[in-house]
Structure 1
């Protein structure tokens, strides 16, 4: 992607300009960001996915004006399409529908490590999920029907307090600053902390939401510590705690200061191992979600290009290549080609032919695992 080129998707801004002016700063409304856009799936197909145990889905309904209900999937039976006031949310549509993955890929001017998934919302007339705010960035793309959006800043439009009488994160107070109706092809970007409320106008409303990963510091630290101390292949010069100078104590419940110091040293040593933190971070960021499965395949045929499965997550740093929670050291031409696979999600037949014997064997193993497919 040419990050300096003007993009209709971003209202004529380049990716560089958008990231400087709007990303995590201020909203952007783009009329006809995707002219002629088609919904990545029809409503019957969406209903079929919602009934599957492998797909994360929710059914939200508003009744009697202010009473909300929510049901987690799988959802075997939906309300009548003509019944007003309900919304079906299907998470991770990009994992199941190629057209949804292609739509998500338009936003890869943001690092893959931050890009999460594409959710599709189907709403009947008047359907929505109530005024709320997200802790992450979101692009809201109207792919069918019309939706009325009202938006406002936390601390200005709302106090941020949530209602405690509904099964959703619905704001207790909300006075919008702006509102607009989105037609098919229109898009609204909202930074974290912008309250928003979208209501379907006229039914058969489909909105695609591109969401992003924003890990909490404590959550990320916990994940990394588990990985840092769970690698049996990395020599760490391990030693057992010993206390030959421990004196008798009249306070047996008190944790010895020496043991606390030993624990602190253990954590610091694990993080200080060369490339250990980098390896753990890459593995954590590429770990597939719990409901992601791969169909086993076969080694790539001779003379064939390669492409990543839409479900595969692949990234790299200066010393590693990461794919689906695994890390590999890479250097030289192999590293260049593997990074190309991560960036472009595909390799030409000529690129595959340039891989070393070891790297080609690794690529074939990924193909057998279903992570890589023939291009």
Structure 2
């Protein structure tokens, strides 16, 4: 069973296939009334309240009115700090609001035409008039949805290969930004930007709230480094180079072909096993970012309690710190990856992976047909008691 398709698109009259073929990682796109009925689930005051909480990543950028131009401050903040901010020229940014506010997390369902593992988080920003973070580039794809108020955008149209940064500032601002397009976005309007396309957004009123849906783009160095670290862990700590068939050498200064072949085989064997690479990749992609850990419920749920709740119509949703993804194998079995841990599901239970991944709300009627499967119930109970799924209050 596939996750429910969103009832409206964020791409206007474009199909996901057309968007991916024409715009994705190629060129910017503005979609007017992408979500015409969207209203910011948060007020500026509520966003400021989140920025005061421990464990919430937040920033204040003051172009003017700080201790120096473009001052960067990191949260958590004391509420009194917001009382002393200047009237204009500052911006508050809060990361991972999707894990804090379910209504914001529901935005991710609008982007399910993209792989779940590529979705990073929803950052929400508030700025009074003239608030901005300056002209800059990001190294990842981003959809910028205007939630309230208006923001004027100036953008480039082509990725920037080598940028020049203004020196000695707290934030990375382009020194040579030249706009090629300019427009103002209002509530429900959307801007898509490919990686490394320069952009400069400035609030034009005191209600400006922008929802940034960012995407993960792991650096090759991080991928290779993490894989090699895991590969090292599979090599016996006492295993050493050996050459029992060594023959007399013609010249002691030469690194002989036999030695080179032995080391080549050692290294190639580390990357020859596709299943091992897939296993590592699934674990790597589902490990929570920012060193976060899922928090189990105070009272563990039992099999009977789960069954009763589902039959009563209560659905589930991902927990605040939950990354779930799966890989389907040739024999029909599936490996479900849950916050970096693999769970093997046999072919007759592979359906479970599709039910619990790929959406922000899992309705009870998608789960109740399978409650006679004890192993399926056990899986749901384990995910709930590990903090990876929770009851949906909607």
Q: TM-score, normalised by structure 1?
A: 0.86
User: C-alpha deviations, 1:137-181, integer Å up to 9, x for none?
Assistant: 11111101111100013578x962111121211001111011111
Shift of 1:129: 0.5
Does the C-alpha gap of structure 1 residues 84 and 256 become closer, same or farther in structure 2, counting only changes over 3 Å?
farther
Shift of 1:263: 5.4
Contact 1:136 1:212 in 2 (8 A): yes
- Look up the match of 2:169: 166
- Look up the match of 1:327: 342
Does the C-alpha gap of structure 1 residues 4 and 42 become closer, same or farther in structure 2, counting only changes over 3 Å?
closer
- Look up the match of 2:22: 21
- Look up the match of 1:41: 42
Contact 2:91 2:132 in 1 (8 A): yes
Contact 1:139 1:187 in 2 (8 A): yes
Shift of 1:371: 1.0
Contact 2:131 2:203 in 1 (8 A): yes
- Look up the match of 2:233: 230
Moved more, 223-232 or 27-36: 223-232
Does the C-alpha gap of structure 1 residues 35 and 199 become closer, same or farther in structure 2, counting only changes over 3 Å?
same
Mapped to 2, the partners of 1:47 and 1:256 lie a distance apart of: 66
2:386 to 357, 369, 373: 369
Moved more, 64-73 or 168-177: 64-73
Shift of 1:99: 1.1
Mapped to 2, the partners of 1:19 and 1:205 lie a distance apart of: 29
Contact 1:4 1:16 in 2 (8 A): no
Mapped to 2, the partners of 1:216 and 1:108 lie a distance apart of: 23
Contact 2:8 2:110 in 1 (8 A): no
Mapped to 1, the partners of 2:309 and 2:256 lie a distance apart of: 62
2:93 to 85, 89, 92: 89
SS at match of 2:152: strand
Shift of 1:332: 1.6
- Look up the match of 1:315: 325
Mapped to 2, the partners of 1:304 and 1:333 lie a distance apart of: 25
Mapped to 2, the partners of 1:25 and 1:275 lie a distance apart of: 32
Shift of 1:259: 7.5
Contact 1:228 1:277 in 2 (8 A): no
Specify every segment of 5 or more residues in structure 2 that has no aligned partner in the other structure, as ranges. Answer: 311-315, 330-334
- The CA RMSD over aligned residues, in Å, is 3.3
Mapped to 2, the partners of 1:55 and 1:260 lie a distance apart of: 51
Asked if residue 128 in structure 1 is aligned to residue 125 in structure 2, the reply is: no
Does the C-alpha gap of structure 1 residues 71 and 64 become closer, same or farther in structure 2, counting only changes over 3 Å?
closer
User: C-alpha deviations, 1:310-338, integer Å up to 9, x for none?
Assistant: 43111111231111101122232311222
1:153 to 157, 160, 169: 157
Contact 1:6 1:14 in 2 (8 A): no
Specify every segment of 5 or more residues in structure 1 that has no aligned partner in the other structure, as ranges. Answer: none
Moved more, 192-201 or 158-167: 158-167
Mapped to 2, the partners of 1:184 and 1:224 lie a distance apart of: 43
Q: TM-score, normalised by structure 2?
A: 0.83
Mapped to 2, the partners of 1:330 and 1:263 lie a distance apart of: 36
Asked if residue 269 in structure 1 is aligned to residue 272 in structure 2, the reply is: no
Mapped to 2, the partners of 1:91 and 1:256 lie a distance apart of: 55
